[in-house]
Amino acid sequence: MSSEPLRVWRHPRPEGAAGLCVGAGCDLPLHWRRAKRLARRIQQVARRERLPRRIWTSPLQRCADVGRWLRHWGWQHRIDPALAELDFGRWDGLAWSAIDKAQLDAWVADFATHRPGGGESLVELLDRAAGWRAEPGALVVGHGGWMLARRWRLERGQALPEAEQWPAPPRYGACWEL
């Protein structure tokens, strides 16, 4: 990984996400005001720190809409599927309460390698997040799971997490240097 950290902002809170399993297969809309507000914050950081006017985002609209505002203001907006959230397969978009407890227990028991809902394993997300490359000092709008995976690999290398070790995601709109 580059010696200059990425700045990654978690996307704003999407519409209708409360209580749902929201991953790569659940492309919830983002209120335009939230997208514009985060884009303005990113623009201010870039101006203050004299950073390039380039933003990378996931293709999911809760990230890409922020990039579209920046593109509207003259930025380069690059979309990369490698920045997407964990794919929860059949679980994506379901209420957590609607997912069979035995299936959730199976995931918790084998947290790193199980494929929740038949989707992507956490190991796959860890590898995808750690392997993502951009120019030094890149600015990114991403997802909480991707941010956690990237930080995990930076801090703990190849160690695999147990469910109880996995931290809560950053708040919506938070910026981490990774």
The CATH number covering residue 53 comes to 3.40.50.1240
* Among candidate residues 143, 109, 116, 112, the one with its CA nearest the CA of residue 129: 143
Which amino acid is located at 20 in the chain?
Answer: L
Containing domain of residue 57, as a range? 7-177
Specify the number of domains making up the chain.
1
| pLDDT score for 3 | 62
What are the backbone angles phi and psi of residue 109, rounded to the nearest 5°?
-65, -30
Handedness of CA 86, 87, 88, 91 (dihedral sign): positive
Q: What is the pLDDT along the chain (178 residues), one digit of tens a residue?
A: 446 789 999 999 999 999 999 999 999 999 999 999 999 999 999 999 999 999 999 999 999 999 999 999 999 999 999 999 999 999 999 999 999 999 999 999 999 999 999 999 999 999 999 999 988 889 999 999 999 999 999 999 999 999 999 999 999 999 999 9
78 domain-assigned: yes
What pLDDT sits at residue 84? 98
Short-list 178, 173, 172, CA closest to 149: 178
pLDDT at 5: 84
Residue 2 in any domain: the answer is no
Query: Would you give the DSSP letter of residue 101?
Result: H
49 within some domain = yes
In a domain, 1, yes or no: no
Residue 170 lies in a domain: yes
User: How confident is the model at residue 4, as a pLDDT?
Assistant: 78
Q: How far is CA 120 from CA 13, 28, 95, 142, in A?
A: 23, 19, 18, 17
Which pLDDT belongs to residue 136? 82
Residue 102 lies in a domain: yes
CB 26 within 8 A of CB 93: yes
Task: Tell whether 51 is covered by a domain.
Answer: yes
Tell the residue number behind the tokens 């514009």, with chain if given.
36
Is the pTM of the predicted complex or chain greater than 0.75?
A: yes
Structure confidence at residue 73 (pLDDT): 98
- SS3 (DSSP) at 39: helix
